[in-house]
Structure 1
Amino acid sequence: MIIDSLHNAKKYYSLHPNFKKAFDYAEQNDLSKLEEGAFQITEGLKIIVIAGEGTPREESIKGFECHDQNIDIQISVKGPETFAWKPREKCTSPNGDYSDEKDVRFFHDAPDMFFQLQEKQFTILFPEDVHAAMIGEGLLKKVVFKVKI
């Protein structure tokens, strides 16, 4: 997991060929004006725009998840947004089977920690990062770049 501000995004370009494309897209577009929904940017890179009311921690961690085929770059557009996190290697209580179609695996485990993103901050969540998001109060908005491994 990585947590940083958008002005430092260039540090992470070398981690994956599509990271630069994702961060360039974020820099060249007014993220606050993007409509909710999902669309493909290029091969192996899609964006999902999510807006909604924040949820309490207890509710959000019911969706404690990780992905096998994608890396998430989640950027806070309107926040603050709190995330729950735990390393996958420490998760021992699966919540259902892995969905290949949705690339998601859920867990019943309790998070090890919570962290908060302010506007224009991001987190990069790798397959080993089990997470839950949209924790907060009021309206939250974010963009999630799905980067195919």
Structure 2
Amino acid sequence: MVLDKLTNAARYTRMHPLFAQAFQFLQEADLMTLPLGQKAIVGKDLFAIISEGSGIPEKDAKLEVHRKYIDIQYVMEGTDHMGWRDLALCSESNDPYLEERDAAFFPDWPAFWFDVPAGSFTIFYPDDAHAAMITEKNVRKVVLKIAVQPEGPVEA
């Protein structure tokens, strides 16, 4: 897991072949005017999900993990309260993995909680169980989904 400010994105572009394009999108797109919903960037290998609204109370948090995609979650407005736990320390899933949604959910409690203010992002890999949108305040954010194993050619 990574937590940092978008101004430091260049530190992370070599961590995955699509991260440079992902961070370029975050830095160059007019994110506040993009409509809510899904936007393709590099087909199914890299796409954005723009959302806005309030989340859920901490007591209702569920840890989730993905297998096919890495998440870069960037907060545009508000503060997203998130939780994290190492997947290796989670008990058995109480809502097993389904390929269609690329997610499994766990009954465990996060090992730690943290705030992600506007202008900051997190990176969650498949071994990062995470809970996001644990706030009852309004948050506008974009979740970039980056294929762990891209299917198409990746531009340098």
Is this a same-fold pair by TM over 0.5?
Answer: yes
Query: 1:22 maps to what in 2?
Result: 22
Distance 1:142 1:103 in 2: 20
- What is the identity percentage for the equivalent residue pairs of Structure 1 and Structure 2? 37
Structure 1 stretches of 4+ with a deviation exceeding 2 A read none
Question: Amino acid of the residue matched to residue 126 of structure 1?
Answer: Y
Distance 1:56 1:90 in 2: 23
Structure 1 residue 98: deviation in Å? 0.7
Mapped pair 1:120 → 2:119: yes
Distance 1:86 1:50 in 2: 24
Structure 1 residue 137: deviation in Å? 3.2
**Structure 2 unaligned regions, length at least 5:** 149-156
The 3-state SS of whatever aligns with 1:55 is coil
Distance 1:49 1:58 in 2: 25
Question: Amino acid of the residue matched to residue 140 of structure 2?
Answer: K
Question: Amino acid of the residue matched to residue 52 of structure 1?
Answer: G
Instruction: Kindly tell me the number of residue pairs found equivalent between the two proteins.
Output: 147
Distance 1:114 1:49 in 2: 23
Range with bigger deviation, 65-74 or 137-146:
137-146
Query: 1:91 maps to what in 2?
Result: 90
Mapped pair 1:35 → 2:35: yes
The 3-state SS of whatever aligns with 1:111 is coil
Aligned 1:46-65 pairs, distance under 5 A: 46-59=47-60, 61=61, 63-65=62-64
Distance 1:99 1:78 in 2: 31
CA RMSD in angstroms, aligned pairs only:
1.0
Distance 1:96 1:119 in 2: 31
